Structure 1
């Protein structure tokens, strides 16, 4: 039984099927600790959270299985995987749990008649186990590069098929060991579930072949970073793609695009959540540095793909491979909701000309998030927003209290 933590990693425990099927587990859930939502990427407890983790007594949460997510685990014989949602012991949803935050954000969109479908395109680096040595050369879209890691690719494909992830594209990118994987679009929470499981499957497939899959945004200096481009479309109650016949002049297009652009500075803290995230966001490496939107142009942070009734969508190119897919999709949903419900309707020129500055560091992103408008709290939840920004400030302090080899070499 698994659930995503703040970093987007899956956490949980192995239990006997009879425990999952018990009346108590079905009705209430199985106990776990809220400490898992109050630790940093190295499992160090975050002590600046006033009511969770160590400061709150590491109290119980209840994990309820979402049985629709059950599927075999290909690397674990006789084991089934099931994702779940976290609840407080009084029965209410845990307001800071990423899967619950996403469900809340998607619910606000459904209230205005919009359902989101999405797909994450992940890039990641393959290194030799226990090293930073690339496992392949770095020629973009090269079959020869894929041949160097053919056994890994075959295992990943087998794992993805078993986990029902809809993996449909694998190709090399322009850096040693850099691969991209694509999956088909899925409804809301399922898209984030697939993204989280895809990262897990890639890590396990790499382990099986003496490699390591790294989802750092920028693991190697002076080389391409790793992104997590998010393709998303909007569908109405009649099952129609609301962008299917849209042009950049249409009000709905302008509202949706403006909602994403206007909230991109504050939500960079979610799309780019680590110190390392901002090493990817530098000139010359095809990562968006400003909040801009345009039709079928990869230089924009928000790329519009207007391709008919089924394929029309947006692609958000700001997130890095280190993003939490649940929170990233929740941030997109919140942005869409705010754009669609705003009193102001942006003009076409306002959208086309917008090229707003975005944070260039985690410190800048924290500051932008601290200045966010109240609308984001209304969708994502004020408790979550406070919890999340404290966790990012913890990361910032951890970095400020460290000294790197670069500093020693340069200033020592």
Structure 2
């Protein structure tokens, strides 16, 4: 970061101080997401925002080695108490928080003291991969579906609503809560497409508009923070954990992606299967090919594999299919008449324990590799693969995704595309943090694991 850029950042921050003060803001939250998927933060009083924008806010690099329980690994490139990083807020996403009176919010990029992007900053990584796509004349639109289980304040999960799955009764039970959530998201500029009850006890979901990948990850972080704040204001508690109780389905973190060249959606209007263009099909093929290793960032918790089981709409098999909710990659055309804009793929095998920046970075790396190699897309699958015999799945080339975090980490370390995209430092840290969690929960029951992570995400 050059001196002139630092000065420009300070001037930009000074320019918004008056409006923020008029809105009652007294402090600015500066969040990032660590390797284990936990949102961490520092904050500055409003008057210090120009200094934070210019020089950053200090943080220890030790956070790269944090586990889900706040213990710290002694990793090859993470977990050291030595050194310092700087958190620089992205003022283009500066948002006055509607559900936290007196506070604003701005996601950060992590730099060294010399102004160089930190090699383990997931947000900077994602921006680099977006720029690499742009150099090839391509872009991606992305959006996260955010699922959460709404409970009472006890440590044990007691659902805050008792109506049936997807039931109108649930909406009535949380009518005031849902109203306040929608109002807060709207005030913060989040374009919500849907809010509805989900399948599991106390479970809700909100879907938002697609954006460029960095903005989509920022929005996912903001939406979850807003849900947490509104829940607390209503005397409730929100869990985004991939598994809230051992005997129920968990929270997914499904990602929708579409590949574009200028104004052309490459997921539609082509001569390939279901209207895919050649590049659109190769992008999907790249996702499928790299899914086993991608789970190390997309399903990054031991608890993730309690959720990722067949016949639970979690996408436990590395297949794709048209509107197939048991496929790891579901192809969505959208309604007739809107397909040029609406066609996309939904990656279903990932969950809400993931760092959204790392996950999208992995998905872009995988899809881009497919496009560059012209990877052929396998035949779509139009049934639940679990209904086939093992022999029939084998004959059809249908493979199960990893069934444990250890298997996913091993697949990640074998994946040259993903490890090269992340770089040696970050790729090593991802593997070491995952193995740290494996050791943390070694020998624990499903009930023990779900209780330990229930309120961490």
TM-score (norm 1): 0.91
Gaps of 5+ in 1: 408-412
Q: Provide the aligned C-alpha RMSD in A.
A: 2.2
- Corresponding residue for residue 113 of structure 1: 137
2:354 counterpart of 1:311:
no
- Contact 2:366–2:417 (Cα < 8 Å) also in 1: no
Rounded Cα–Cα distance in structure 2 between residues aligned with 1:402 and 1:297:
33
Alignment of 1:243-322 (within 5 A): 243-246=267-270, 247-248=272-273, 250-307=277-334, 308-322=339-353
Rounded Cα–Cα distance in structure 2 between residues aligned with 1:76 and 1:283:
40
Rounded Cα–Cα distance in structure 1 between residues aligned with 2:151 and 2:136:
45
Q: Are residues 357 and 84 of structure 1, via their aligned partners in 2, closer, same or farther at CA, if it must alter by over 3 Å?
A: same
Alignment of 1:184-195 (within 5 A): 184-195=209-220
1:268-317 deviation per Cα after TM superposition (whole angstroms, max 9, x unaligned):
11111001101111233221111001222222111112342211111111
Rounded Cα–Cα distance in structure 2 between residues aligned with 1:221 and 1:383:
34
- Corresponding residue for residue 21 of structure 2: none
SS at match of 1:291: strand
- Corresponding residue for residue 98 of structure 1: 122
Cα deviation, residue 45, structure 1: 1.7
Rounded Cα–Cα distance in structure 1 between residues aligned with 2:256 and 2:419:
24
- Which of 63, 76, 100 is 1:50 aligned to? 76
- Corresponding residue for residue 388 of structure 1: 430
In the comparison of the two structures, how many residue pairs are matched?
Answer: 399
- Contact 1:137–1:177 (Cα < 8 Å) also in 2: yes
1:152-189 deviation per Cα after TM superposition (whole angstroms, max 9, x unaligned):
21221122123222223111122220111111111110
- Corresponding residue for residue 73 of structure 1: 97
- Contact 2:285–2:377 (Cα < 8 Å) also in 1: no
1:105-132 deviation per Cα after TM superposition (whole angstroms, max 9, x unaligned):
2222222221111111122111111231
Q: Are residues 155 and 258 of structure 1, via their aligned partners in 2, closer, same or farther at CA, if it must alter by over 3 Å?
A: same
2:230 counterpart of 1:205:
yes
Rounded Cα–Cα distance in structure 1 between residues aligned with 2:319 and 2:244:
26
- Which of 316, 319, 327 is 2:358 aligned to? 327
Rounded Cα–Cα distance in structure 1 between residues aligned with 2:448 and 2:342:
46
Rounded Cα–Cα distance in structure 2 between residues aligned with 1:30 and 1:128:
36
Rounded Cα–Cα distance in structure 1 between residues aligned with 2:163 and 2:313:
16
Gaps of 5+ in 2: 1-29, 383-395, 450-457
Cα deviation, residue 405, structure 1: 6.7
- Corresponding residue for residue 410 of structure 1: none
Cα deviation, residue 8, structure 1: 3.5
- Which of 14, 17, 28 is 2:55 aligned to? 28
2:400 counterpart of 1:375:
no
Alignment of 1:111-260 (within 5 A): 111-130=135-154, 131-236=156-261, 238-246=262-270, 247-248=272-273, 250-260=277-287
- Corresponding residue for residue 7 of structure 1: 36
Rounded Cα–Cα distance in structure 1 between residues aligned with 2:428 and 2:437:
15
Rounded Cα–Cα distance in structure 1 between residues aligned with 2:287 and 2:315:
14
SS at match of 1:133: coil
Cα deviation, residue 255, structure 1: 0.8
Rounded Cα–Cα distance in structure 1 between residues aligned with 2:177 and 2:82:
39
SS at match of 1:15: strand
